[in-house]
Chains A and B, each alone.
Chain A
Protein backbone atom coordinates (compact mmCIF):
# COMPACT_ATOMS: atom_id res chain seq x y z
CA UNK A 1 0.00 0.00 0.00
CA UNK A 2 1.38 3.38 -1.00
CA UNK A 3 1.42 6.21 1.50
CA UNK A 4 -1.23 8.03 -0.49
CA UNK A 5 -3.46 5.00 -0.36
CA UNK A 6 -2.91 4.62 3.36
CA UNK A 7 -3.82 8.25 3.89
CA UNK A 8 -7.01 7.93 1.86
CA UNK A 9 -8.03 4.76 3.65
CA UNK A 10 -7.27 6.41 6.96
CA UNK A 11 -9.69 9.19 6.05
CA UNK A 12 -12.23 6.56 5.06
CA UNK A 13 -11.69 4.81 8.35
CA UNK A 14 -12.02 8.02 10.34
CA UNK A 15 -15.23 9.09 8.62
CA UNK A 16 -16.62 5.60 9.05
CA UNK A 17 -15.64 5.75 12.71
CA UNK A 18 -17.34 9.12 13.09
CA UNK A 19 -20.55 7.66 11.71
CA UNK A 20 -20.19 4.73 14.09
CA UNK A 21 -19.78 7.11 17.00
CA UNK A 22 -22.90 9.07 16.12
CA UNK A 23 -24.71 5.77 15.74
CA UNK A 24 -23.45 4.24 18.97
CA UNK A 25 -23.63 7.28 21.22
CA UNK A 26 -27.30 6.83 21.98
CA UNK A 27 -26.91 3.17 22.85
CA UNK A 28 -23.98 3.98 25.09
CA UNK A 29 -25.88 6.74 26.88
CA UNK A 30 -28.88 4.53 27.59
CA UNK A 31 -26.76 1.68 28.80
CA UNK A 32 -24.56 3.82 30.94
CA UNK A 33 -27.46 5.57 32.58
CA UNK A 34 -30.12 2.93 32.80
CA UNK A 35 -28.25 -0.35 32.48
CA UNK A 36 -30.52 -1.19 29.58
CA UNK A 37 -29.15 -2.73 26.39
CA UNK A 38 -31.66 -1.19 24.04
CA UNK A 39 -31.90 -3.74 21.24
CA UNK A 40 -34.41 -1.48 19.53
CA UNK A 41 -31.61 1.01 18.90
CA UNK A 42 -31.18 -0.22 15.34
CA UNK A 43 -34.89 0.14 14.70
CA UNK A 44 -34.72 3.72 16.01
CA UNK A 45 -31.81 4.41 13.66
CA UNK A 46 -33.81 2.97 10.77
CA UNK A 47 -36.89 4.99 11.67
CA UNK A 48 -34.81 8.15 11.75
CA UNK A 49 -33.59 7.49 8.21
CA UNK A 50 -37.09 6.83 6.87
CA UNK A 51 -38.53 9.90 8.61
CA UNK A 52 -35.73 11.88 7.00
CA UNK A 53 -36.74 10.49 3.59
CA UNK A 54 -40.25 11.82 4.02
CA UNK A 55 -39.17 15.15 5.43
CA UNK A 56 -36.76 15.69 2.54
CA UNK A 57 -39.47 14.68 0.10
CA UNK A 58 -41.85 17.24 1.56
CA UNK A 59 -39.55 20.11 2.44
CA UNK A 60 -36.59 19.41 0.15
CA UNK A 61 -34.25 20.21 3.03
CA UNK A 62 -31.76 17.79 4.54
CA UNK A 63 -31.19 20.18 7.45
CA UNK A 64 -34.84 20.22 8.45
CA UNK A 65 -34.72 16.43 8.37
CA UNK A 66 -31.73 16.55 10.67
CA UNK A 67 -33.91 18.35 13.20
CA UNK A 68 -37.15 16.53 12.56
CA UNK A 69 -35.91 12.95 12.76
CA UNK A 70 -34.33 13.22 16.22
CA UNK A 71 -37.44 15.02 17.46
CA UNK A 72 -39.68 12.26 16.12
CA UNK A 73 -37.51 9.61 17.70
CA UNK A 74 -37.42 11.48 21.01
CA UNK A 75 -41.22 11.27 21.01
CA UNK A 76 -41.05 7.54 20.35
CA UNK A 77 -38.59 7.18 23.20
CA UNK A 78 -40.82 9.17 25.51
CA UNK A 79 -43.60 6.71 24.75
CA UNK A 80 -41.60 3.48 24.97
CA UNK A 81 -39.76 4.15 28.21
CA UNK A 82 -42.62 4.98 30.58
CA UNK A 83 -45.08 2.64 28.91
CA UNK A 84 -42.89 -0.38 28.66
CA UNK A 85 -39.41 -0.24 30.05
CA UNK A 86 -40.20 1.36 33.36
CA UNK A 87 -41.99 -1.74 34.55
CA UNK A 88 -38.88 -3.81 34.01
CA UNK A 89 -36.26 -1.96 36.03
CA UNK A 90 -33.52 -4.35 36.93
CA UNK A 91 -34.83 -7.29 34.94
CA UNK A 92 -32.21 -7.53 32.24
CA UNK A 93 -33.28 -10.56 30.25
CA UNK A 94 -36.81 -9.23 30.23
CA UNK A 95 -35.62 -5.88 28.94
CA UNK A 96 -33.78 -7.68 26.15
CA UNK A 97 -36.94 -9.45 25.12
CA UNK A 98 -38.99 -6.29 25.38
CA UNK A 99 -36.67 -4.23 23.22
CA UNK A 100 -36.52 -7.04 20.66
CA UNK A 101 -40.31 -6.93 20.58
CA UNK A 102 -40.33 -3.16 20.13
CA UNK A 103 -37.78 -3.48 17.37
CA UNK A 104 -39.85 -6.07 15.49
CA UNK A 105 -42.94 -3.92 15.70
CA UNK A 106 -41.18 -0.73 14.56
CA UNK A 107 -39.38 -2.40 11.66
CA UNK A 108 -42.57 -4.02 10.45
CA UNK A 109 -44.45 -0.73 10.72
CA UNK A 110 -41.76 0.99 8.69
CA UNK A 111 -42.27 -1.62 6.00
CA UNK A 112 -46.01 -1.04 6.05
CA UNK A 113 -45.78 2.75 6.00
CA UNK A 114 -42.86 3.36 3.68
CA UNK A 115 -42.75 0.17 1.66
CA UNK A 116 -39.85 -2.23 1.37
CA UNK A 117 -37.94 -0.74 -1.51
CA UNK A 118 -34.31 0.15 -1.38
CA UNK A 119 -34.05 3.92 -1.01
CA UNK A 120 -31.29 6.44 -0.59
CA UNK A 121 -30.70 9.96 0.57
CA UNK A 122 -28.31 12.39 -1.05
CA UNK A 123 -25.95 14.64 0.80
CA UNK A 124 -27.37 18.15 1.02
CA UNK A 125 -26.37 20.66 -1.64
CA UNK A 126 -23.20 22.35 -0.53
CA UNK A 127 -21.91 19.19 1.03
CA UNK A 128 -22.33 16.93 -1.95
CA UNK A 129 -19.18 17.85 -3.82
CA UNK A 130 -15.64 16.64 -3.62
CA UNK A 131 -12.49 18.53 -2.73
CA UNK A 132 -9.00 18.03 -3.97
CA UNK A 133 -6.84 16.26 -1.44
CA UNK A 134 -3.58 14.39 -1.46
CA UNK A 135 -4.09 11.62 -3.96
CA UNK A 136 -7.18 12.92 -5.68
CA UNK A 137 -10.60 14.07 -4.62
CA UNK A 138 -12.44 13.30 -1.44
CA UNK A 139 -16.15 13.73 -0.75
CA UNK A 140 -16.90 16.82 1.30
CA UNK A 141 -19.71 15.01 3.07
CA UNK A 142 -17.37 12.53 4.68
CA UNK A 143 -15.23 15.38 5.96
CA UNK A 144 -18.40 16.97 7.31
CA UNK A 145 -19.23 13.73 9.06
CA UNK A 146 -15.85 13.71 10.80
CA UNK A 147 -16.36 17.29 11.92
CA UNK A 148 -19.89 16.54 13.08
CA UNK A 149 -18.73 13.55 15.06
CA UNK A 150 -16.08 15.60 16.81
CA UNK A 151 -18.53 18.38 17.60
CA UNK A 152 -21.11 15.91 18.89
CA UNK A 153 -18.58 14.19 21.11
CA UNK A 154 -17.37 17.53 22.43
CA UNK A 155 -20.92 18.72 23.05
CA UNK A 156 -21.80 15.54 24.86
CA UNK A 157 -18.66 15.83 26.95
CA UNK A 158 -19.52 19.40 27.89
CA UNK A 159 -23.09 18.51 28.81
CA UNK A 160 -21.86 15.52 30.71
CA UNK A 161 -19.26 17.32 32.77
CA UNK A 162 -20.41 20.87 33.08
CA UNK A 163 -24.15 20.93 33.24
CA UNK A 164 -26.58 19.95 35.95
CA UNK A 165 -28.29 17.39 33.79
CA UNK A 166 -24.91 15.89 33.04
CA UNK A 167 -24.16 15.72 36.72
CA UNK A 168 -27.45 13.98 37.33
CA UNK A 169 -26.68 11.51 34.57
CA UNK A 170 -23.25 10.78 36.00
CA UNK A 171 -24.79 10.30 39.40
CA UNK A 172 -27.44 8.05 37.96
CA UNK A 173 -24.78 5.92 36.32
CA UNK A 174 -23.13 5.43 39.67
CA UNK A 175 -26.16 4.83 41.81
CA UNK A 176 -29.67 5.46 40.58
CA UNK A 177 -31.31 4.40 43.83
CA UNK A 178 -29.40 6.95 45.82
CA UNK A 179 -30.37 9.56 43.32
CA UNK A 180 -34.01 8.71 43.88
CA UNK A 181 -33.48 8.81 47.60
CA UNK A 182 -32.07 12.28 47.24
CA UNK A 183 -35.36 13.42 45.79
CA UNK A 184 -34.53 13.54 42.11
CA UNK A 185 -37.38 12.39 39.89
CA UNK A 186 -35.58 9.39 38.43
CA UNK A 187 -38.58 8.44 36.33
CA UNK A 188 -38.38 11.69 34.43
CA UNK A 189 -34.62 11.48 34.23
CA UNK A 190 -34.71 7.97 32.80
CA UNK A 191 -37.48 8.82 30.36
CA UNK A 192 -35.57 11.82 29.03
CA UNK A 193 -32.34 9.83 28.85
CA UNK A 194 -34.01 7.12 26.86
CA UNK A 195 -35.62 9.73 24.64
CA UNK A 196 -32.24 11.34 24.08
CA UNK A 197 -30.75 7.97 23.19
CA UNK A 198 -33.52 7.44 20.69
CA UNK A 199 -33.06 10.94 19.31
CA UNK A 200 -29.35 10.27 18.81
CA UNK A 201 -30.21 7.08 16.96
CA UNK A 202 -32.58 9.06 14.76
CA UNK A 203 -29.92 11.66 14.12
CA UNK A 204 -27.54 8.91 13.10
CA UNK A 205 -30.19 7.63 10.71
CA UNK A 206 -30.22 10.95 8.90
CA UNK A 207 -26.49 11.62 8.89
CA UNK A 208 -25.48 8.12 7.89
CA UNK A 209 -28.12 7.81 5.16
CA UNK A 210 -26.05 9.37 2.34
CA UNK A 211 -23.33 6.81 3.08
CA UNK A 212 -25.06 3.69 4.38
CA UNK A 213 -28.29 4.04 2.43
CA UNK A 214 -31.87 3.42 3.49
CA UNK A 215 -33.16 -0.14 3.02
CA UNK A 216 -34.86 -3.06 4.72
CA UNK A 217 -32.49 -4.81 7.06
CA UNK A 218 -30.59 -1.67 8.00
CA UNK A 219 -31.81 -1.93 11.58
CA UNK A 220 -29.57 -4.92 12.15
CA UNK A 221 -26.84 -4.31 9.62
CA UNK A 222 -25.28 -1.78 10.07
CA UNK A 223 -27.57 -0.36 12.81
CA UNK A 224 -27.60 -2.62 15.81
CA UNK A 225 -24.59 -4.77 15.02
CA UNK A 226 -22.16 -1.90 14.64
CA UNK A 227 -23.48 0.07 17.60
CA UNK A 228 -23.25 -2.97 19.86
CA UNK A 229 -19.75 -3.66 18.65
CA UNK A 230 -18.59 -0.10 19.27
CA UNK A 231 -20.19 0.16 22.69
CA UNK A 232 -18.96 -3.16 23.98
CA UNK A 233 -15.47 -2.85 22.54
CA UNK A 234 -15.06 0.69 23.77
CA UNK A 235 -16.25 0.08 27.24
CA UNK A 236 -19.87 0.08 28.12
CA UNK A 237 -21.82 3.12 28.97
CA UNK A 238 -19.19 5.81 28.93
CA UNK A 239 -18.80 8.59 26.42
CA UNK A 240 -15.07 8.05 26.22
CA UNK A 241 -15.77 4.37 25.69
CA UNK A 242 -17.98 5.11 22.71
CA UNK A 243 -15.33 7.43 21.29
CA UNK A 244 -12.56 4.89 21.84
CA UNK A 245 -14.68 2.14 20.33
CA UNK A 246 -15.45 4.09 17.18
CA UNK A 247 -11.88 5.25 16.77
CA UNK A 248 -10.76 1.65 16.91
CA UNK A 249 -13.51 -0.07 14.93
CA UNK A 250 -13.77 2.53 12.16
CA UNK A 251 -10.21 2.33 10.81
CA UNK A 252 -9.73 -1.33 11.83
CA UNK A 253 -12.83 -2.44 9.92
CA UNK A 254 -11.90 -0.29 6.92
CA UNK A 255 -8.35 -1.59 6.64
CA UNK A 256 -9.30 -5.11 7.65
CA UNK A 257 -11.97 -5.48 4.99
CA UNK A 258 -9.61 -4.34 2.30
CA UNK A 259 -6.53 -6.25 3.41
CA UNK A 260 -8.29 -9.49 4.33
CA UNK A 261 -10.94 -9.59 1.64
CA UNK A 262 -11.87 -13.23 1.86
CA UNK A 263 -12.77 -12.92 5.50
CA UNK A 264 -14.14 -9.38 5.28
CA UNK A 265 -17.43 -10.51 6.80
CA UNK A 266 -15.60 -11.72 9.85
CA UNK A 267 -13.14 -8.86 10.32
CA UNK A 268 -15.23 -6.75 12.62
CA UNK A 269 -16.11 -9.72 14.80
CA UNK A 270 -12.53 -10.84 14.93
CA UNK A 271 -11.69 -7.38 16.26
CA UNK A 272 -14.41 -7.66 18.89
CA UNK A 273 -13.24 -11.10 19.93
CA UNK A 274 -9.64 -9.95 20.11
CA UNK A 275 -10.41 -6.91 22.24
CA UNK A 276 -12.71 -8.76 24.60
CA UNK A 277 -10.27 -11.60 25.03
CA UNK A 278 -7.47 -9.22 25.87
CA UNK A 279 -9.56 -6.80 27.87
CA UNK A 280 -12.76 -8.50 29.00
CA UNK A 281 -14.58 -5.31 29.90
CA UNK A 282 -13.72 -3.42 26.74
CA UNK A 283 -11.00 -0.87 26.06
CA UNK A 284 -12.05 1.74 28.59
CA UNK A 285 -14.54 -0.27 30.59
CA UNK A 286 -14.45 -0.52 34.32
CA UNK A 287 -15.76 -3.42 36.30
CA UNK A 288 -19.29 -2.51 37.10
CA UNK A 289 -20.56 -3.19 40.57
CA UNK A 290 -23.68 -5.28 40.29
CA UNK A 291 -26.72 -3.58 41.69
Chain B
Protein backbone atom coordinates (compact mmCIF):
# COMPACT_ATOMS: atom_id res chain seq x y z
CA UNK B 1 0.00 0.00 0.00
CA UNK B 2 1.39 3.36 -0.85
CA UNK B 3 2.61 5.39 2.12
CA UNK B 4 0.12 8.19 1.45
CA UNK B 5 -2.77 5.78 1.34
CA UNK B 6 -1.54 4.13 4.51
CA UNK B 7 -1.27 7.46 6.30
CA UNK B 8 -4.76 8.42 5.19
CA UNK B 9 -6.10 5.15 6.54
CA UNK B 10 -4.38 5.69 9.88
CA UNK B 11 -5.72 9.24 10.08
CA UNK B 12 -9.25 8.09 9.37
CA UNK B 13 -8.95 5.32 11.97
CA UNK B 14 -7.60 7.75 14.55
CA UNK B 15 -10.43 10.22 13.96
CA UNK B 16 -12.98 7.41 14.14
CA UNK B 17 -11.46 6.20 17.37
CA UNK B 18 -11.45 9.59 19.04
CA UNK B 19 -14.99 10.42 18.01
CA UNK B 20 -16.34 6.96 18.93
CA UNK B 21 -18.81 8.10 21.60
CA UNK B 22 -20.44 10.47 19.13
CA UNK B 23 -21.01 8.24 16.15
CA UNK B 24 -21.87 5.23 18.29
CA UNK B 25 -24.48 7.06 20.33
CA UNK B 26 -27.24 5.47 18.26
CA UNK B 27 -26.66 1.89 19.26
CA UNK B 28 -24.69 2.61 22.42
CA UNK B 29 -27.00 4.78 24.46
CA UNK B 30 -25.49 3.60 27.71
CA UNK B 31 -21.88 4.49 28.14
CA UNK B 32 -20.71 0.94 28.69
CA UNK B 33 -18.88 0.38 25.40
CA UNK B 34 -17.28 3.80 25.69
CA UNK B 35 -16.11 3.04 29.20
CA UNK B 36 -14.82 -0.36 28.14
CA UNK B 37 -12.96 1.10 25.19
CA UNK B 38 -11.57 3.88 27.35
CA UNK B 39 -10.11 1.39 29.82
CA UNK B 40 -8.76 -0.78 27.01
CA UNK B 41 -7.00 2.29 25.56
CA UNK B 42 -5.48 3.14 28.94
CA UNK B 43 -4.16 -0.42 29.13
CA UNK B 44 -2.89 -0.03 25.57
CA UNK B 45 -0.89 3.08 26.47
CA UNK B 46 0.51 1.24 29.48
CA UNK B 47 1.35 -1.81 27.36
CA UNK B 48 2.92 0.30 24.59
CA UNK B 49 5.24 1.84 27.14
CA UNK B 50 6.21 -1.53 28.53
CA UNK B 51 6.83 -2.85 25.04
CA UNK B 52 9.50 -0.20 24.59
CA UNK B 53 11.36 -2.08 27.28
CA UNK B 54 10.36 -5.68 26.75
CA UNK B 55 9.98 -5.74 22.99
CA UNK B 56 12.46 -3.19 21.74
CA UNK B 57 15.19 -2.85 24.32
CA UNK B 58 15.09 -6.43 25.55
CA UNK B 59 14.56 -5.39 29.17
CA UNK B 60 11.89 -7.66 30.73
CA UNK B 61 10.50 -5.46 33.48
CA UNK B 62 8.02 -6.92 35.98
CA UNK B 63 7.77 -3.69 37.93
CA UNK B 64 6.28 -1.34 35.38
CA UNK B 65 3.12 -0.76 37.39
CA UNK B 66 5.17 1.24 39.89
CA UNK B 67 5.22 4.09 37.35
CA UNK B 68 1.57 3.63 36.45
CA UNK B 69 0.67 3.92 40.10
CA UNK B 70 3.07 6.77 40.74
CA UNK B 71 1.51 8.74 37.88
CA UNK B 72 -1.97 8.13 39.23
CA UNK B 73 -1.04 9.16 42.75
CA UNK B 74 0.84 12.22 41.52
CA UNK B 75 -2.13 13.39 39.49
CA UNK B 76 -4.50 12.79 42.40
CA UNK B 77 -2.31 14.32 45.07
CA UNK B 78 -1.46 17.29 42.85
CA UNK B 79 -5.10 18.01 42.29
CA UNK B 80 -5.77 17.84 46.02
CA UNK B 81 -2.69 19.55 47.46
CA UNK B 82 -2.26 22.20 44.80
CA UNK B 83 -6.01 22.82 44.77
CA UNK B 84 -6.12 22.82 41.01
CA UNK B 85 -7.69 20.55 38.47
CA UNK B 86 -5.97 21.94 35.44
CA UNK B 87 -4.72 19.16 33.20
CA UNK B 88 -1.34 20.66 32.43
CA UNK B 89 -0.58 20.77 36.15
CA UNK B 90 -1.89 17.37 37.20
CA UNK B 91 -0.82 15.50 34.07
CA UNK B 92 2.47 17.32 34.18
CA UNK B 93 2.92 16.27 37.79
CA UNK B 94 2.19 12.68 36.85
CA UNK B 95 4.75 12.74 34.05
CA UNK B 96 7.41 14.41 36.18
CA UNK B 97 6.95 12.13 39.19
CA UNK B 98 6.89 9.00 37.02
CA UNK B 99 9.98 10.15 35.15
CA UNK B 100 11.88 10.87 38.35
CA UNK B 101 10.90 7.53 39.84
CA UNK B 102 11.93 5.79 36.61
CA UNK B 103 15.25 7.61 36.76
CA UNK B 104 15.91 6.52 40.34
CA UNK B 105 14.88 2.91 39.76
CA UNK B 106 16.44 2.89 36.32
CA UNK B 107 19.85 3.85 37.61
CA UNK B 108 19.68 0.88 39.97
CA UNK B 109 18.46 -1.72 37.50
CA UNK B 110 19.98 -0.75 34.22
CA UNK B 111 23.11 -2.82 34.60
CA UNK B 112 21.21 -6.04 35.22
CA UNK B 113 20.14 -8.53 32.65
CA UNK B 114 17.56 -11.21 32.12
CA UNK B 115 16.08 -12.85 35.17
CA UNK B 116 18.06 -10.60 37.51
CA UNK B 117 16.68 -7.52 35.83
CA UNK B 118 13.23 -9.04 36.13
CA UNK B 119 13.60 -9.74 39.85
CA UNK B 120 15.20 -6.39 40.59
CA UNK B 121 12.42 -4.47 38.85
CA UNK B 122 9.87 -6.63 40.64
CA UNK B 123 11.49 -6.04 44.03
CA UNK B 124 11.85 -2.29 43.62
CA UNK B 125 8.28 -1.99 42.36
CA UNK B 126 7.06 -3.93 45.38
CA UNK B 127 8.83 -1.42 47.60
CA UNK B 128 6.92 1.34 45.82
CA UNK B 129 3.71 -0.63 46.35
CA UNK B 130 4.48 -1.08 50.03
CA UNK B 131 5.00 2.67 50.42
CA UNK B 132 1.71 3.35 48.63
CA UNK B 133 -0.06 0.79 50.83
CA UNK B 134 1.30 1.99 54.18
CA UNK B 135 1.78 5.77 53.79
CA UNK B 136 -1.80 6.59 54.62
CA UNK B 137 -1.20 10.29 55.21
CA UNK B 138 -0.11 10.89 51.63
CA UNK B 139 -1.56 8.11 49.50
CA UNK B 140 -4.59 7.11 51.52
CA UNK B 141 -2.87 3.86 52.34
CA UNK B 142 -4.70 0.60 51.80
CA UNK B 143 -8.00 2.46 51.46
CA UNK B 144 -6.81 4.21 48.37
CA UNK B 145 -6.86 7.82 47.25
CA UNK B 146 -10.40 8.94 46.63
CA UNK B 147 -11.75 12.19 45.34
CA UNK B 148 -9.27 12.61 42.52
CA UNK B 149 -10.18 15.88 40.87
CA UNK B 150 -11.84 16.37 37.53
CA UNK B 151 -9.37 16.94 34.69
CA UNK B 152 -9.95 20.43 33.36
CA UNK B 153 -8.45 22.49 30.59
CA UNK B 154 -9.29 26.12 31.30
CA UNK B 155 -13.07 25.81 31.65
CA UNK B 156 -13.45 22.57 29.69
CA UNK B 157 -14.39 19.79 32.09
CA UNK B 158 -13.20 16.40 30.86
CA UNK B 159 -14.92 14.36 33.50
CA UNK B 160 -18.04 13.55 31.50
CA UNK B 161 -17.81 10.02 30.08
CA UNK B 162 -17.63 11.22 26.48
CA UNK B 163 -15.00 13.86 27.02
CA UNK B 164 -13.00 11.58 29.31
CA UNK B 165 -12.94 9.09 26.48
CA UNK B 166 -11.81 11.78 24.04
CA UNK B 167 -8.98 12.75 26.37
CA UNK B 168 -7.86 9.15 26.71
CA UNK B 169 -8.11 8.37 23.01
CA UNK B 170 -6.21 11.50 21.98
CA UNK B 171 -3.49 10.60 24.47
CA UNK B 172 -3.46 7.08 23.08
CA UNK B 173 -3.02 8.30 19.52
CA UNK B 174 -0.24 10.61 20.67
CA UNK B 175 1.48 7.82 22.61
CA UNK B 176 1.18 5.42 19.68
CA UNK B 177 2.67 8.00 17.32
CA UNK B 178 5.46 8.69 19.78
CA UNK B 179 6.34 5.03 20.19
CA UNK B 180 6.10 4.48 16.44
CA UNK B 181 8.35 7.44 15.81
CA UNK B 182 10.86 6.33 18.41
CA UNK B 183 10.94 2.83 17.00
CA UNK B 184 11.76 4.02 13.52
CA UNK B 185 14.28 6.58 14.63
CA UNK B 186 18.00 5.94 14.98
CA UNK B 187 17.35 5.87 18.70
CA UNK B 188 14.93 3.00 18.32
CA UNK B 189 17.34 1.10 16.11
CA UNK B 190 20.04 1.62 18.66
CA UNK B 191 17.77 0.12 21.31
CA UNK B 192 17.21 -2.95 19.18
CA UNK B 193 20.92 -3.11 18.67
CA UNK B 194 21.46 -3.13 22.42
CA UNK B 195 18.93 -5.92 22.74
CA UNK B 196 20.52 -8.04 20.05
CA UNK B 197 24.19 -7.60 20.79
CA UNK B 198 25.22 -5.17 23.47
CA UNK B 199 28.94 -5.78 23.16
CA UNK B 200 28.96 -4.87 19.52
CA UNK B 201 27.00 -1.73 20.20
CA UNK B 202 29.52 -0.71 22.78
CA UNK B 203 32.32 -1.50 20.41
CA UNK B 204 30.64 0.79 17.92
CA UNK B 205 30.83 3.56 20.48
CA UNK B 206 27.29 3.61 21.84
CA UNK B 207 26.79 4.28 25.53
CA UNK B 208 24.51 1.30 26.04
CA UNK B 209 23.86 2.04 29.70
CA UNK B 210 22.61 5.50 28.89
CA UNK B 211 20.50 4.13 26.05
CA UNK B 212 18.80 1.66 28.33
CA UNK B 213 18.34 4.19 31.07
CA UNK B 214 16.71 6.65 28.69
CA UNK B 215 14.41 3.93 27.38
CA UNK B 216 13.50 3.07 30.97
CA UNK B 217 12.69 6.68 31.78
CA UNK B 218 10.67 7.27 28.62
CA UNK B 219 8.72 4.08 29.21
CA UNK B 220 8.14 4.97 32.84
CA UNK B 221 6.91 8.45 31.95
CA UNK B 222 4.37 7.16 29.44
CA UNK B 223 3.21 4.60 31.99
CA UNK B 224 2.78 7.43 34.50
CA UNK B 225 0.56 9.27 32.06
CA UNK B 226 -1.52 6.14 31.62
CA UNK B 227 -1.83 5.95 35.39
CA UNK B 228 -2.98 9.54 35.57
CA UNK B 229 -5.66 8.86 32.96
CA UNK B 230 -6.81 5.89 34.99
CA UNK B 231 -7.02 8.11 38.07
CA UNK B 232 -9.09 10.70 36.20
CA UNK B 233 -11.42 8.02 34.82
CA UNK B 234 -12.32 6.34 38.07
CA UNK B 235 -11.57 9.37 40.28
CA UNK B 236 -9.74 6.92 42.51
CA UNK B 237 -6.25 5.50 42.89
CA UNK B 238 -5.76 2.14 44.55
CA UNK B 239 -2.47 0.86 45.93
CA UNK B 240 -2.97 -2.16 43.69
CA UNK B 241 -2.47 0.12 40.67
CA UNK B 242 1.22 0.02 41.57
CA UNK B 243 1.18 -3.66 42.49
CA UNK B 244 2.56 -6.84 41.05
CA UNK B 245 -0.79 -7.90 39.61
CA UNK B 246 -0.90 -4.83 37.44
CA UNK B 247 2.70 -5.31 36.29
CA UNK B 248 2.03 -8.91 35.34
CA UNK B 249 -1.13 -7.87 33.54
CA UNK B 250 0.77 -5.42 31.34
CA UNK B 251 3.57 -7.90 30.74
CA UNK B 252 1.16 -10.58 29.63
CA UNK B 253 -0.72 -8.09 27.43
CA UNK B 254 2.51 -7.29 25.60
CA UNK B 255 3.48 -10.94 25.17
CA UNK B 256 0.09 -12.09 23.98
CA UNK B 257 -0.28 -9.23 21.56
CA UNK B 258 3.20 -9.54 20.15
CA UNK B 259 6.27 -7.92 21.69
CA UNK B 260 8.31 -5.52 19.59
CA UNK B 261 5.55 -4.41 17.29
CA UNK B 262 3.33 -1.34 17.40
CA UNK B 263 0.09 -3.19 16.89
CA UNK B 264 1.01 -5.93 19.34
CA UNK B 265 0.39 -4.18 22.67
CA UNK B 266 -2.74 -2.66 21.18
CA UNK B 267 -4.14 -6.00 20.04
CA UNK B 268 -3.13 -7.56 23.35
CA UNK B 269 -4.99 -4.86 25.28
CA UNK B 270 -8.10 -5.52 23.24
CA UNK B 271 -7.96 -9.21 23.97
CA UNK B 272 -7.12 -8.88 27.67
CA UNK B 273 -9.85 -6.26 28.18
CA UNK B 274 -12.29 -8.48 26.39
CA UNK B 275 -11.46 -11.47 28.56
CA UNK B 276 -11.46 -9.45 31.76
CA UNK B 277 -14.56 -7.38 31.24
CA UNK B 278 -16.80 -8.92 28.64
CA UNK B 279 -16.40 -12.64 29.19
CA UNK B 280 -17.42 -12.60 32.88
CA UNK B 281 -20.68 -10.88 31.97
CA UNK B 282 -21.44 -13.54 29.40
CA UNK B 283 -20.95 -16.45 31.75
CA UNK B 284 -22.90 -17.14 34.93
CA UNK B 285 -20.78 -16.02 37.79
CA UNK B 286 -20.61 -19.50 39.32
CA UNK B 287 -18.56 -20.76 36.43
CA UNK B 288 -16.01 -18.02 36.95
CA UNK B 289 -13.72 -19.57 34.42
CA UNK B 290 -12.31 -16.37 33.02
CA UNK B 291 -8.97 -17.02 34.75
CA UNK B 292 -8.73 -20.51 33.31
CA UNK B 293 -9.78 -19.18 29.90
CA UNK B 294 -7.05 -16.59 30.07
CA UNK B 295 -4.57 -19.30 30.98
CA UNK B 296 -5.63 -21.53 28.12
CA UNK B 297 -5.48 -18.59 25.72
CA UNK B 298 -1.88 -17.92 26.76
CA UNK B 299 -0.94 -21.54 26.33
CA UNK B 300 -2.62 -21.68 22.94
CA UNK B 301 -0.91 -18.52 21.74
CA UNK B 302 2.47 -19.57 22.93
CA UNK B 303 2.27 -23.00 21.39
CA UNK B 304 0.50 -22.22 18.16
CA UNK B 305 0.82 -18.52 17.51
CA UNK B 306 4.22 -17.63 18.78
CA UNK B 307 4.40 -14.25 17.16
CA UNK B 308 1.44 -13.16 19.18
CA UNK B 309 -1.81 -11.95 17.71
CA UNK B 310 -0.15 -9.39 15.53
CA UNK B 311 2.32 -11.85 14.13
CA UNK B 312 -0.48 -14.23 13.30
CA UNK B 313 -2.43 -11.42 11.70
CA UNK B 314 0.59 -10.36 9.73
CA UNK B 315 1.16 -13.90 8.48
CA UNK B 316 -2.46 -14.23 7.50
CA UNK B 317 -2.29 -10.93 5.64
CA UNK B 318 0.87 -11.96 3.84
CA UNK B 319 -0.69 -15.23 2.87
CA UNK B 320 -3.67 -13.47 1.43
CA UNK B 321 -1.51 -10.97 -0.38
CA UNK B 322 0.82 -13.44 -2.02
CA UNK B 323 -1.92 -15.43 -3.60
Contact = CB atoms under 8 A, between A and B. Distances in A.
B123 A104 contact: no
A281 B116 contact: yes
Interface residues of A, number: 41
Interface in A64-110: 84, 87-88, 91-94, 96-98, 100-105, 107-109
Sort chain B's interface into a size bin: 35 or more
A107 B299 CA distance: 15
Interface of A: 37, 84, 87-88, 91-94, 96-98, 100-105, 107-109, 111-112, 220, 225, 228-229, 232, 236, 262-263, 265-266, 269-270, 272-273, 276-277, 280-282
Contacts, number: 108
Contacts of A269: 122-124, 126-127, 130
Given A265-B134, A276-B119, A276-B120, A97 B127 contact: no
Nearest to A116: B288
Contact of B255 (A93, A263, A282): A93
B180 interface: no
Interface hub of A96, A98, A270, A282 (most chain B Cβ within 10 A)? A96
B50 interface: no
B185 interface: no
Contacts of B13: none
Given A276-B116, A277-B108, A97 B292 contact: no
A239 to B, nearest CB: 18
A271 B289 CA distance: 37
Given A232-B116, A232-B119, A265-B130, A273 B108 contact: yes
Contact of A37 (B115, B127, B296): B115
A277 B108 CA distance: 7
Nearest to A37: B115
Nearest to A270: B127
Contacts of B130: 263, 265-266, 269
Contacts of B129: 265
